[in-house]
Amino acid sequence: MPMTASESAALSTQRVDARARLSARQGPGRTRIERLFQEGAAKIRMPRSQGDPLEAILINTAGGLTGGDRIAWEIEAQAHSAVAVTTQACEKVYRTRSGAARVDVRLAAGAGASIAWLPQETIVYDSSSLERRLEADLAAGSRGLIVEAVLFGRLAMGETVTTAHFHDRWRIRHGGRLVHAEDFRIGPDIAATLARPAATGGATALATVLLVAQDAETFLPEARRIIGDAGGASAWAVGGTGKLLARIVAGDGYALRKRLAPLVGLLNGQAGLPKVWSL
């Protein structure tokens, strides 16, 4: 039967409103699931594993985000557990007619725990709008690795981004103290801004890598060697722990991954690179 006018209008304004939560605990021999909640298009799957970390794969079954969509992820690694989180594929942010897509991420790690937030790249399309918020609360003595990579279009697909809105906000705490805060906001003239020498000089693939751990500074020389002339890295002692921050810029996603993959492998310890990154 054909849809009524009201049904058609309701369908045209339907938006993604999804959330998922995972809490993991240290069990006999390895990290195990304590609680798992999924709603809407947000799904979490755990591949079979014989040891730590517990690997969680996030899936947005809507296939992407556009204006008005909302998706939230909450990941907790309880005391002495280890969790690594990635995504099934790159998240795509499509053209919007009105409003922004919103992604909220909350991470928590208990004492002696390890949490790694390692999603694949976010692909931003022309005329899109994304507001993303990431908050992490790391207990004293815990370890946190956070990675976000963004592609403003894909060179291999002939995609260019002239106008869009992108805002990424991070707040990271360790032992209750703020150890890292940043707001990266760009738009609406994306292409013109990125072309500036003080920005990326025209590079459209960007990545930020943050390691909060007692031994963070020990990775600095090798991290700088991997990054080379494609960005930079620095390390500090802050808030009773160590912090390593790296930025990578590249002309396309392939060039970005050539630097980002070995850097993540270095900083993620024995867990290395998530398997889905190479599929």
What token pair was written down for 114? 């390890």
Residue 10 lies in a domain: no
Residue 263 lies in a domain: yes
Supply φ then ψ for residue 224, to 5 degrees: -65, -35
Residue 34 lies in a domain: yes
Beta strands in 2-157 (DSSP E): 17-26, 31-39, 42-45, 54-60, 70-77, 82-87, 91-93, 101-109, 114-117, 122-124, 129-138, 143-152
Residue 278 lies in a domain: no
Per residue in 131-163, pLDDT (tens digit) is: 999 999 999 999 999 999 999 988 777 778 899
Residue 185 lies in a domain: yes
Q: How many domains does the chain have?
A: 1
Residue 265 lies in a domain: yes
What is the pTM (predicted TM-score) of this model? Answer: 0.92
Please count the other Cβ atoms lying within 10 Å of the Cβ belonging to residue 45. 11
Per residue in 166-210, pLDDT (tens digit) is: 999 999 999 999 999 999 999 999 999 999 998 899 899 999 999
Q: Which residue range is the domain that position 72 belongs to?
A: 16-271
Of residues 270 and 76, more confidently modeled: 76
Residue 7 lies in a domain: no
User: Helices in 189-239 by DSSP H: which ranges?
Assistant: 190-194, 220-227
Residue 2 lies in a domain: no
Tell me 271's DSSP state.
Answer: G
